[in-house]
Amino acid sequence: MNIRSIAEKLEYLRTRDGEPLKLMEVCGTHTAGIFRSGIRGVLSPTIRLISGPGCPVCVTPAAYIDRCAMYARMPAHTLACFGDMLKVPGSARSLSEVRAEGGRVEMIYSPFEVLDWAMSAPERTFVIAAVGFETTVPAYGLLMDELIGRGIENVKLLTALKSAIPAIERICQTEESVDGFLCPGHVSVITGSKVYEPLAERYGKPFVVAGFEAEHLVHAIYELTRSAETVKADSTGGTNTPGQSAEAPKKRGSVRNLYGEAVSAEGNPKARRVMERYFKPGAAVWRGLGEMDASGLYLRGEYRRFDAGSRGLDEDGCLPDGCLCADVITGRIDPDACPMFGGACVPGNAQGPCMVSSEGACGIWYQNASGTFG
Amino acid sequence: MSEYAKNITMAHGSGGRDSAALMRGIFGKHFSNRILDRMEDGAVLPLTVETDPVSMCVGTPPLAVKAALPCGNDDLCTRNGVEADRRGGPKNAQRAPLVVSTDSFVVTPVEFCGGDIGKLAVCGTVNDILMMGATPKYLTCGFILEEGLELAVLDRIVASMAAAAREAGVLIVAGDTKVIEARGTSNADAYAGDSRTGADDARTDAKRGGGHGRFDAGKRGGVMINTAGIGALRKSVSVSNARPGDAVIVSGNLGDHHACILSARMGIENGIQSDCALLSEPVVSLLNDEVDVHVMRDVTRGGLGTVLNEIATASGVTIELAERDIPVDPEVRGFCGIMGLDPIYMGNEGKMVAIVPEEQAERALALIRASEIGRSARIIGAVTGDADAFGAGAQTGAQDMSGQTHAARGQSADRDALFWRNPRDGLVIMRTRIGGLRRIDVLFGEGLPRIC
């Protein structure tokens, strides 16, 4: 079947009648795009979209927020962070609350804003809460270039930088029922689409890289659905065909890049070089996924003087009883299956980080209330 | 929501859910009275004011008002005001209910592409009066000036206010000025309990000068302006007047002001301009042509999504929008895509929503489009039903709009919908470009750019 137009693909997805499929959008921006497009309500009930661990705020442990709050309260210190971090609950308070109580928390739109502050207030130390995936790490590398080039010593990074790829691999290992992955678009700009090939091969799953507009999403979900159908047909058909070896044939994974205007196979090697100049991988704790080797990015030893104590912030004891953020992040449950969702846990009174962040699955579900229509 | 907050946070000023909670939880609780409780853009008072037919005409202000720093009891302003009132002559004078509204302005930077805080302070309050169906007549203004503000900047801002007031045909008749210490020092090291440290910071920074940001002189010297306006009621419109069958019109592209201000703060250069403007022209056209406008609302903080929810809730109705008809400038759309922002929730300073009976919609649209600021106006949706008929009603609406049946999921959809939504609230839903449905709620939090 050769379907070309978006309308035809949409019609296929709407009327599909086959084995149920579970497709994971890894990235929070995709979750937001999916809800804005209203596509969930259009899909056949046989296609289920689940949200993954692709919100850097949601997977950041509480101990990290507490460390941020500590700096905000420390004399002659200012904590600079992106807006998304302000409302994430720490074990006692969110940064927004710390600021309202007089703590020095400044919201930034770019880490480079801090350079001028640091130059004009040399007696003050500026701690940047550097949270994000591969997408944002190169910017911190460039910031390091500036700090070193200008001889600025009163800026430190408190990093919770993570690599999305090990997390996707962890999901491949533990969540066998996921039939395909919608890869994080912005991360892929840096890493390139080739980075998914070993995963596709090893786990026999389809991976699609796509943009965020409604048409992109239709295209991507269509491709994932078709590829997943092929994988399923191969594996079931294989075992039923006489004359084949007793072993089930190896499932064929695949990688398709539908976001060619922004993502190449190789990604952005220049950005990766900047990353590698200052950061090296190390073990990191992800909320919901636990500790994973080489999934965190930390300042290299020679730049330790710029590190505000980013290692070992693993404690994550702040999730209240009943909060199922960890299950949401791994796609085990939909947000509205959490008993607190919409009742005890709403965006203005979030119990868990998934409800706080604009990229968090629970917040996106709640605000767009897609359950209303599908 | 402020029910849960212990302190004021920035989200309380976003115009979204937290702002509404603050209104209910504190101001509404203590100030409650039958006028305030209507929660309109302004209040219609049981007092009357003489109307002046001349001043209703756009572009011909009653008198050229000499720009003067507002100073409490400025004789010149007062005299001009009286003369303006006499202009129509006792014979022409009619009396109309008095409308009053007030608004405060704290934008940073104070001067931006397409306007400044002075123009904003006049347009904002004048627009609020217009949205009540009234002719704006007088303004008062209060200035809070931060130590270090350049007088040349203040002069430009006030000149800009005067120009906007002339254009709006209003007189600025009273004012007040206060000066405060530079804000950078206010909460410095509160935990250290040493306020002198902060003050020293300020002096050090001021001496260094140059640069931009919160820790140098560039950020100090802010201006905050409050304006209050008085107008004469022409036609009673109310946020609670939307009726099933009405058409929803928006007067132009969404998100320009928000995108402009964010670009300036982030140091991004682009062609995006604030839409900061008076809404007099389209409003006067609609009223002069006797369009039976049910609701008018300016689309400011919190964006279209928040405003439509307020209307839907106050009127007890469901509003359905078509995504493809919502006007957004391509450059702003691109900016939003990069920043992860949604134009539906972005602030504007020269846009309005008009809700009119369906049979008058095309005429109203033509009138709005004929105005300078309404050229990209669109009919974006319709009021489709009572909010009370919600569960079944919304489902029916969903099927009607997409031509599809979601019956298989109807059961759980009903449950979820009722669960997620306060039954008191109205409902705003949007049919997306690909035929899906999306619920448009009020803005949550601060509407921030994403981090990844």
pLDDT tens digits for range A233-257: 877 654 444 444 445 556 789 999 9
Contacts of B413 in chain A (CB under 8 A): 371-374
Contact: A372, B10; criterion CB under 8 Å: no
pLDDT for residue B73 is more than 50? no
Contacts of A85 in chain B (CB under 8 A): 451
Give me the pLDDT at residue A78, please: 96
B152 close to A (CB below 8 A): no
Sheet with strand A290-299: strands edge to edge: A105-108, A77-82, A125-132, A155-162, A290-299, A279-286
CA distance A60 to chain B (A): 13
Give me the pLDDT at residue B2, please: 38
Grade residue B25 by pLDDT with cuts at 50, 70 and 90.
confident
Q: Which residue has the higher pLDDT, A222 or B425?
A: A222
Closest alpha carbon within chain B to A32: B340
Q: Are B279 and B251 in contact (CB under 8 A)?
A: yes
| pLDDT tens per residue, range A178-207 | 999 999 998 999 999 999 999 999 999 999
Identify the weakest region by mean pLDDT among A40-49, A211-220, B54-63, B396-405.
B396-405
Grade residue B220 by pLDDT with cuts at 50, 70 and 90.
low
pLDDT for residue B58 is more than 60? no
Work out how many CB contacts closer than 8 A connect A with B. 227
Contact: B435, A57; criterion CB under 8 Å: no
Query: CA separation (Å) from A341 to A101, A236, A349, B224?
Result: 28, 38, 11, 40
Q: Which residue has the higher pLDDT, B4 or B294?
A: B294
Contact: A101, B433; criterion CB under 8 Å: no
Contacts of A132 in chain B (CB under 8 A): 451-452
Contact: B434, A101; criterion CB under 8 Å: no
B125 burial (CB, 10 Å; 0-12 / 13-18 / 19+) is: buried
pLDDT for residue B412 is more than 60? no
Contacts of B420 in chain A (CB under 8 A): 342, 366, 369, 371-372
Q: Are A185 and A164 in contact (CB under 8 A)?
A: no
B196 close to A (CB below 8 A): no
Q: Which residue has the higher pLDDT, B192 or B344?
A: B344
Helices H, strands E: what count in chain B? Answer: 14, 14
Q: Which residue has the higher pLDDT, A353 or B130?
A: B130
Domains in chain A, CATH or no CATH each? 6-55+165-257 (3.40.50.11750), 62-163+270-306 (3.40.50.11740), 325-330+337-369 (no CATH)
Grade residue B419 by pLDDT with cuts at 50, 70 and 90.
very low
Grade residue B52 by pLDDT with cuts at 50, 70 and 90.
low
Give me the pLDDT at residue B130, please: 96
Contact: B434, A6; criterion CB under 8 Å: yes
Contact: B211, A135; criterion CB under 8 Å: no
Give me the pLDDT at residue B4, please: 57
Report the Cα A340 to chain-centroid distance in Å: 23
Contacts of A84 in chain B (CB under 8 A): 448, 450-451
Grade residue B422 by pLDDT with cuts at 50, 70 and 90.
low
From the list B267, B262, B314, B296, the residue with the least C-alpha distance to B424 is B314
What's the average model confidence in pLDDT over B192-196?
32
* Gap between the Cα atoms of B335 and B324, Å rounded: 18
pLDDT for residue B452 is more than 60? no
Give me the pLDDT at residue A319, please: 67
What's the average model confidence in pLDDT over B160-175?
96
Contact: A368, B201; criterion CB under 8 Å: no
Residue B387, token pair as written in the block: 């909010």
Contact: A28, B451; criterion CB under 8 Å: no
Q: Least CB-CB distance to A76: which of B6, B189, B421?
A: B189
Give me the pLDDT at residue B184, please: 53
pLDDT for residue B201 is more than 70? no
Give me the pLDDT at residue A255, please: 96
Query: CA separation (Å) from B93 to A59, B53, B81, B171?
Result: 67, 8, 15, 18
CA distance A140 to chain B (A): 13
Sign (positive/negative) of CA torsion B314, B317, B323, B326?
negative
The pTM of the whole model exceeds 0.90 = no
Q: Which residue has the higher pLDDT, B381 or A107?
A: B381
Give me the pLDDT at residue B92, please: 54
Contact: B436, A367; criterion CB under 8 Å: no
- Which 366-395 residues of chain B touch chain A by CB within 8 A? 394
DSSP H helices, B96-174, are 117-131, 151-168
Give me the pLDDT at residue A63, please: 87
Residue with the two structure tokens 């086959």: A18
What percentage of chain B carries pLDDT values higher than 70?
Answer: 71
Closest alpha carbon within chain A to B213: A117
Q: What is the mean pLDDT of chain B?
A: 77
Question: Residue A267, CB half-sphere, CA atoms under 13 Å: how many?
Answer: 22
pLDDT for residue B402 is more than 80? no
pLDDT for residue B100 is more than 80? yes
Contacts of A335 in chain B (CB under 8 A): none
pLDDT for residue B188 is more than 80? no
Contact: A36, B342; criterion CB under 8 Å: yes
Asked if omega into B109 is within 30° of 0 (cis), the reply is yes
Give me the pLDDT at residue B423, please: 54
State the pairing for strand pair B427-431/B352-357. Answer: unpaired
B9 close to A (CB below 8 A): yes
Contact: B452, A99; criterion CB under 8 Å: no
User: What angle in degrees, to the nearest 10, is found between the helix axes of A214-240 and A28-37?
Assistant: 110
What's the average model confidence in pLDDT over B17-22?
82
Where is mean pLDDT largest: A15-24, A229-238, B57-66, B415-424? A15-24
Contacts of B11 in chain A (CB under 8 A): 87, 96, 348
B102 close to A (CB below 8 A): no
Residues of chain A with pLDDT under 50: 1, 238-246, 370-374
Q: Which residue has the higher pLDDT, B93 or A40?
A: A40
Report the Cα B442 to chain-centroid distance in Å: 14
Contact: A38, B432; criterion CB under 8 Å: yes
Q: Are A117 and A100 in contact (CB under 8 A)?
A: no
Domains in chain B, CATH or no CATH each? 1-32 (no CATH), 44-87+94-182+221-233 (3.30.1330.10), 246-439 (3.90.650.10)
